[in-house]
Amino acid sequence: MTPRTKSPTDTLDPDGLVVWARRFAEHLRVRNYAERTIVITNVALSGFIEWAADRSLTRPGEITKPILESYQRWLFYRRTSKGRPLTFSSQRISLTKVKGFFRFLAHQNVLLANPAADLELPRVERRLPRAILNERETEHVLAQADVADPLGLRDRTMMEVLYSTGIRRFELAGLQVYDLDTDRGTLTIRQGKGRKDRIVPIGERALHWIARYLDEVRRTLVVPPDGGVLFLNEQGRALALDYLTNLMKGYIDAAKLGKTGAVHIFRHTMATLMLEGGADVRLVQEMLGHANMSTTAIYTHVSIRHLKAVHDATHPAAKLAPKKVVESAAEAVAEKTDVLAALDAEADEEGSE
């Protein structure tokens, strides 16, 4: 029998990186960091610790700034399982978690100095969303769900909620029945990104589909005791995030629009269409739950339709001139040229006298 290769997580060294990573996770949990943040941190640190273990580096004191810079270069050249390079955003997230870990070690006096203090993070491009649906395309995607099927009705309802509110994937999965206020037409997002609650408006059409789902589908899916989660799977549990991604991607692919996306495409679409409809960017920022206006401002670049209309109405060269206007303009230029030629000839004659 082939012996199992020892993993860095097998070590019981109380001063090892693995043990300190666990203490760091507990440190974050005690300070009420979101569980999603802790999971992402654990994944990032596990990657770094495995990389370090491959180089016989297992303790915090063995890590120096040049070693961290070497890890940063490794991330830059790393390829995913599909052969693609890591995005700069992914690289930055990984390095940010590593920096937080070593800052914690320095505060705990495990290290005399923080080797990651001056580590320069990669700059992240502020890219426009890859795909945005227009109104017609969105309706076509929504129509892909078979509402005669209970799960199809559930899926249509979820898409209507995403389209109406622009909430994030994990916010949709975490919705509770009591988060819905039909009288006020609002939806309460509890503990969204950054551990912040917010209230967003939801349209009458989405409310209609929610009412149908609650009446026709949810009561058949729920398993006692009812935990109150709004959208359930066939086993009566909350929907997994990866399941939501694959589900929405399937409907978008089925629409055959030549565009790719999943849950987030509804968020991009909602924000863009609202801005094109005249919504104030600050209100869209509040609805999306963005901490910084610069994040919401991306959608002002995408919502080009209104800007195009203003450009057409105000820019003197926005439109190709009609043929008659071009011809009359040419005649005017020719006439002006003839007058100038006549004046030049007259001036020559006066000079010769």
Tell me which of 193, 212, 249, 259 is the catalytic residue: 193
Q: Do the Cβ atoms of 255 and 144 come closer than 8 Å?
A: yes
| 3-class secondary-structure state, position 200 | strand
Tell me which of 168, 169, 218, 268 is the catalytic residue: 168
> Would you call 193 a catalytic residue per the annotation?
yes
Rounded Cα–Cα distance for residues 1 and 129 (Å): 51
Measure the CA dihedral 98/102/103/109, to 10°.
Answer: 170
Q: Omega of the bond prior to 60 within 30 degrees of 0, cis?
A: no
> Would you call 168 a catalytic residue per the annotation?
yes
Q: Omega of the bond prior to 8 within 30 degrees of 0, cis?
A: no
Q: Give the contacts of 290 (CB within 8 A, at least 6 positions apart).
A: 296
Rounded Cα–Cα distance for residues 74 and 77 (Å): 5
Give the dihedral sign, CA 52/55/58/61. negative
CB atoms within 10 A of CB 203: 14
> Would you call 264 a catalytic residue per the annotation?
yes
Tell me which of 267, 305, 319, 323 is the catalytic residue: 267
Catalytic residue ranges: 168, 193, 264, 267, 290, 299
